[in-house]
Amino acid sequence: MLPFVAVPSTIAQEFGKYRDLFCRGAGFEQVSRYVTGLLLSENKTLQGIAGQWVAGGEVGGRRAMHAAVFEAGWRSSELMSHHRAVIAKEHQGRGREVISLDWTLSHHDWGKQIFGVKRSYDYVEHRMSCFQTVVTATIANRHLIDGIDVVVQFPDFSVAEREYLKVTAKSHYDDLDQVRERLIEMLHYHKNRLEYRKRTEIAVEIVRQVEAEGQFPTADYAFDNGVLTVELTTMIESAGNTG
């Protein structure tokens, strides 16, 4: 693979529209290099991308890139909201538009520690696999198609967690440390139950946010039974759109 010496002009031009999301210029440059690697490198791990950049100058290294990408306090909601505002200008005056809501499985057989990855049966591939469940939203007209949201569903571990709590239950505890540990386990179980959202609930939240921002006021919606609920159709109709 050829080494990277600079961010390509096309990537720099488009990614420059997101500069306001970064507090520091150094962080913006590192993420620009990371995005370049995701698009152009054969090895799309952070280590592989960082290693393909020519050392020297302000390029930094793997640690600097890791800090910028994974430790900079990213807020995906702000990023996607800004992204929708950016592309809305390009979609104006392009004719009828449709927002498509869907979900898919993103396989990570070698990345079991990635957020949202769960080992379960894949009914599409007909095998056990490690994957994320991802809910997506895209907008399209006759000229353009763009993603406007993507949400990784946190896996539902409630059955396994409930079974663990049942098996490890005791009639009494000998000291406060055991009581404290048990209380923490139960709080984690309760927290995970509250945070879990069905993919249909995620789809409703996406539509609610898109309609609240008002960037695509004339767009209609398209979806299948995978995300269909009464709440979703009611929300779309109340906004004056069709689904």
Full residue range of the structural domain in which residue 45 is found: 9-70
Tell whether 124 and 228 lie within a shared domain.
yes
Give residue-wise pLDDT tens across range 190-209: 998 998 999 999 999 999 99
List the one residue out of 82, 76, 78, 165 whose CA is nearest residue 116.
76
Cβ neighbourhood burial of 112 (10 Å; 0-12, 13-18, 19+): exposed
Partnered with residue 146 across adjacent β-strands are 139
Please say if the pLDDT value at position 20 is more than 70: yes
Q: Has residue 2 been placed in a domain?
A: no
Tell whether 206 and 114 lie within a shared domain.
yes
Tell whether 21 and 62 lie within a shared domain.
yes
CB 68 within 8 A of CB 122: no
Q: Has residue 86 been placed in a domain?
A: no
- What ranges make up the beta strands (E) of 123-229? 127-140, 145-153, 220-222
Average pLDDT over residues 35-59: 83
Tell whether 207 and 148 lie within a shared domain.
yes
Q: Has residue 1 been placed in a domain?
A: no
Tell whether 188 and 222 lie within a shared domain.
no
Give residue-wise pLDDT tens across range 126-135: 999 999 999 9
Q: Has residue 187 been placed in a domain?
A: yes
Tell whether 130 and 206 lie within a shared domain.
yes
Q: What is the pLDDT of residue 55?
A: 66
Q: Which is more confident, 210 or 58?
A: 210
For the chain, the average pLDDT equals 89
Whole-number Å distance between alpha carbons of 222 and 98: 7
Whole-number Å distance between alpha carbons of 148 and 140: 10
Tell whether 148 and 217 lie within a shared domain.
yes
Average pLDDT over residues 202-224: 94
Which of the residue ranges 51-60, 125-134, 159-168, 219-228 would you say has the lowest mean pLDDT?
Answer: 51-60
Q: What is the pTM of this model?
A: 0.81
Tell whether 105 and 210 lie within a shared domain.
yes
Tell whether 174 and 185 lie within a shared domain.
yes
Whole-number Å distance between alpha carbons of 204 and 221: 12
List the one residue out of 232, 234, 240, 235 whose CA is nearest residue 101.
232
- Degrees, nearest 5: CA angle 124-128-134: 55
Q: How many structural domains comprise the chain?
A: 3
